[in-house]
Homo-oligomer: A and B are copies of this chain.
Amino acid sequence: MDPQKLAELRRKYADAQVFDAQTEKFQQIAKALVGDNPGGARPKPYSGISTLLDAPIQEGLADLDIALIGVPMDLAVTNRPGARLGPRAVRDVERIGPYNHASNTMPHSLARFADVGDVPFRSRYSLDDSIADIASYYRDVVAAGVLPLSVGGDHSVTYPILQALGAKEPVGLVHIDAHCDTAGIYEGSKFSHGGPFRAAVLDGVLDPERTIQIGIRGASEIIWEFSYESGMTVLHIEDVTRMGIEAVVAQARAVVGDGPVYLSVDVDGFDPAFAPGTGTPEVGGLTPREGLSLLQGLDGLNWVGADVVEVAPMYDPTSNTAQLGAQLLFEELCLLAKAVS
């Protein structure tokens, strides 16, 4: 290279510390991260008390735009239990964020958010009570004007969240999953993790015509009639392959429109190679590159909340599922942060 250019680089960078930047763009994002102390003190990723996306710990919702909430409940699974340990597993993931290059977002600059801990449950034995406890907790979140960003728990937790969020007006939904989760009453319970979106529609809190379900596959098709009958848009995995992600994004935006919309991501929407740590895996799913592109394409919608569910760490020997869950949570945070900014 040109010796003069090398000299110039040396002049500017020879003693530069890790967060020193010479250009305005990078100075801005560095400042958002470490303030005015560039050489300084970012916590080491393996150190300290673990929180969701390394957010600060806060009791209560005061002054928050977005609340990161754990929902450690898995009484509604149809197969392998364990998602009750999902929030802990996602908290333990390090090195996610703070800057999203693909969408050029720095949520720290856009919104106030914190890890407010887990939904408190009366009983670890009662699915009915647990659903009620979640609904009650999220009504408070809604009342406080805070957007909830949640980590399950099994997918049944999304139903009471939608009860709170859609109480005034039914919301739309972008739903990534291997399963439609619109089954009927399952062995006596309408709260199974196979049915939250049927229940939400029947309650009038979810608008099926503004709902899109992406990544569907596997043998459970047999119980997803309600998705079709209620007018949901169902994209099976073979549709995703055929269409490509760009077209999926376009269809999702068209389906949900401008109204309030919720984002629910079940990690089993992804192939078990990427997300083995879940209770009802289905081979042949989305790749993380598809999934992240999809979320990044949903920028600018009228988001009212989001979740990542069904991370079950005992089936996740590499922690890949928790890492993917945390990255998805960060993408959701970016979407919500823009929505509140």
Q: Are A123 and B39 in contact (CB under 8 A)?
A: no
A185 to chain B, nearest CB (A): 5
Number of copies: 6
CA of A86 to CA of B33 in the docked complex: distance in angstroms?
A: 27
A41 at the interface (CB under 8 A from B): yes
CA of A85 to CA of B221 in the docked complex: distance in angstroms?
A: 25
A18 at the interface (CB under 8 A from B): yes
- Known A-B contacts A9-B201, A46-B80; the reply to A185 vs B99 at CB < 8 A is no
Is the contact region of chain A dominated by helix, strand, or loop, or is it mixed?
loop
Sample (8) of A-B pairs whose CB atoms are under 8 Å apart: A9-B201, A19-B222, A21-B225, A45-B79, A98-B219, A125-B188, A126-B189, A276-B319
Residues of chain A in range 37-92 having any CB-CB distance to chain B below 8 Å: 39, 41, 44-51, 57, 70, 72, 74-82, 84-85, 87-88, 91-92
A272 at the interface (CB under 8 A from B): yes
CA of A6 to CA of B205 in the docked complex: distance in angstroms?
A: 11
A198 to chain B, nearest CB (A): 7
Q: Are A125 and B45 in contact (CB under 8 A)?
A: no
Interface digits, A17-40 against B, CB 8 Å rule (1 contact, 0 not)? Answer: 111111101100110010000010
A8 to chain B, nearest CB (A): 9
Stretch at the interface among A139-147, A250-258, A282-290: A282-290
Q: Are B185 and A15 in contact (CB under 8 A)?
A: yes
Which residues of B are found within 8 Å of A33, using beta-carbon distances?
A: 222
A292 at the interface (CB under 8 A from B): yes
Q: Are B74 and A81 in contact (CB under 8 A)?
A: yes
Which residues of B are found within 8 Å of A209, using beta-carbon distances?
A: 1
Interface digits, A201-234 against B, CB 8 Å rule (1 contact, 0 not)? Answer: 1101001111000001111011101101111000
Q: Are B50 and A91 in contact (CB under 8 A)?
A: yes
Q: Are B284 and A223 in contact (CB under 8 A)?
A: no
Which residues of B are found within 8 Å of A170, using beta-carbon distances?
A: 1
CA of A185 to CA of B88 in the docked complex: distance in angstroms?
A: 27
Q: Are B314 and A315 in contact (CB under 8 A)?
A: yes
A85 to chain B, nearest CB (A): 5
Interface digits, A247-277 against B, CB 8 Å rule (1 contact, 0 not)? Answer: 0000000000000000000000001111011
Q: Which of B76, B92, B124, B283 contacts A187 (CB 8 A)?
A: B124
CA of A22 to CA of B131 in the docked complex: distance in angstroms?
A: 27
Residues of chain A in range 152-209 having any CB-CB distance to chain B below 8 Å: 170, 183-189, 191-192, 194-195, 198, 201-202, 204, 207-209
Q: Are B202 and A14 in contact (CB under 8 A)?
A: yes
Report, nearest first, the 10 A-B pairs whose CB atoms are least far apart: A123-B187, A81-B81, A276-B318, A16-B184, A101-B221, A26-B225, A314-B314, A125-B189, A284-B288, A273-B273
Q: Are B202 and A10 in contact (CB under 8 A)?
A: yes
A12 to chain B, nearest CB (A): 8
CA of A44 to CA of B94 in the docked complex: distance in angstroms?
A: 24
Which residues of B are found within 8 Å of A204, using beta-carbon distances?
A: 6
A24 to chain B, nearest CB (A): 10
Which residues of B are found within 8 Å of A95, using beta-carbon distances?
A: 79, 218-219, 280
Q: Are B46 and A231 in contact (CB under 8 A)?
A: no
Which residues of B are found within 8 Å of A16, using beta-carbon distances?
A: 184-185
CA of A330 to CA of B217 in the docked complex: distance in angstroms?
A: 14
